[in-house]
Amino acid sequence: MSLEGKVALVTGAGNGIGEAIAVALAEAGATVACADINRAAAVATAAKAGGFQVPSMAIEADCGDVAQINRMVEQCVARYGKLDIIVNNAGVTRSAYIMDLTEQDWDRMHRVNAKGVFFCLQAAARQMIAQGHGGRIINIASIAGRGFKDTSNTVYAASKGAVISMTKHAAQQLGRYDINVNAICPGVTFTAIVDDLLETRASEQGITVDEMRARMARPIPIGRGNDPADIAAMAVFLAGPGARNITAQCYNVDGGLIPS
């Protein structure tokens, strides 16, 4: 599982799943560039990654802006000379009923969750093709994109469905360059974003946050939601030598909530 000698770029690395992935890649030996729209958060994650005695850097980037995406990849390559792995994790959402969603919600979520993932994927692939020795692209989708009914909202689900589709198509077209493209579809994962959703739903239903958390975990066959580390473990596997012949796949990490 060693990633020694590999250079990885993680978007949305400032907290939650992205932070866990960046740190886990560093623990596996990879050099890690931690990108986030919040520079201070990116710096904090880079410091944690550097604690594993590997080079790390922070990059401030808005992954809904194509110019900033391209600059992000350029900064990583300028510092470390190459790019072997990208984890497209940056994403946004909010808790909303279908009839309350607005055009602004659609534009905001698809700007980052769909457009952003595509252009991060494209920029990374362009660099990997130029290098000529393959690479790994890992997209963070969601079981929301597979129809999970209790997701934050319908627009978010649509954006994550787009990620699943892009993953499969990109893998078919980039395979000739030895670039593997896969996605991870997290289930209920307890991050700061999900905690905000829990608070909103608990308030709406007149129950405590702990009761809401237990209610969300109840339908999961294995009986618990994810920690961010559960998603990070899958990312490390997909980035590593054991996954060299795995591509065009979208893996649920959800305790059996949505059988695939």
The residues assigned a catalytic role are 156
Angle, helices 66-80 vs 117-131, to 10°: value is 30
Q: How many residues does the chain have?
A: 260
CA–CA separation, 110 and 30 (whole Å): 30
CB 13 within 8 A of CB 91: no
CA–CA separation, 137 and 173 (whole Å): 13
Please name the amino acid found at residue 108.
Answer: R
What pairing do the DSSP bridges indicate for beta strands 179-186 and 250-253?
Answer: parallel
CB 155 within 8 A of CB 111: no
**Strand residues in the chain grouped as ranges (E):** 7-10, 31-36, 56-60, 85-88, 135-140, 179-186, 250-253
